Amino acid sequence: MSLRWSPGASRRVRAMLTCGILLTTSAIGTTALWSTTAATTSGTFTTANLEIKANGSVAHTFAFPGSLVPGDTTANVVTVQNTGTVAFTYSAKVSSATTLGRAMQLRVVTGGTVSGSVCTGGTQLVTGVPITATATTFATRPSLAAATGAEALCMQLTLPTNAAGTLAGTTGTVTFTFDAAVP
């Protein structure tokens, strides 16, 4: 069976197809008029440098003066410094890998100085902190300004009066760790 178009129907179909083509073309043209693109490029940017030091060094070693007997103290000042380009807060930790170090008790004074074998002046931050083999946070400190921020911490160690007799004649070390973080 074949379809036959009447001349009137054929004209109507052609007219509708023509309208559809014109509408499609104008819709595409209208869409193009309602969109646009622009590109921008940022200026140069840099990252901050986070750097903490103790007494001017990333790994500073110092000696506590004197030989200790139970009840004695020894002290030293450590200056924590911000030598980076961004302000930071920091936490201070203490640990010891030695038996004598773990027998000590820690006292820390901010802004203090050493007089004889004790910390004097300043503000007491902590006292009687036990020292363990695992680094334990003993303080979280406020922001130190970039490049110039510094805080003096007087670290005082005490060998308790009840220290074990097996500690006599031994040596020990204590490790202080300072971790900086951007607030």
pLDDT in tens, 82-137: 999 999 999 999 999 999 999 999 999 999 999 999 999 999 999 999 999 999 99
Q: Return the higher-pLDDT residue of 5 and 118.
A: 118
Per-residue pLDDT, 11: 61
Per-residue pLDDT, 129: 97
Q: pLDDT category, 15, cuts 50, 70, 90?
A: low
Question: What is the CATH class of 52-181?
Answer: mainly beta
**pLDDT digits 0-9 by tens, 41-85:** 888 888 888 999 999 999 888 888 778 999 999 999 999 999 999
Q: pLDDT category, 23, cuts 50, 70, 90?
A: very low
Q: Where are the domains of the chain?
A: 52-181
3-state secondary structure the chain: CCCCCCHHHHHHHHHHHHHHHHHHHHHHHHHHHCCCCCCCCCCCCCCCCCCEEECCECCCCCCCCCCCCCCCEEEEEEEEEECCCCCEEEEEEEECCCHHHHHCEEEEEECCEEECCEEECCEEEEEEEECCCCCEEEEEEEEECCCCCEEEEEEEEECCCCCCHHHCCCCCCCEEEEEEECC
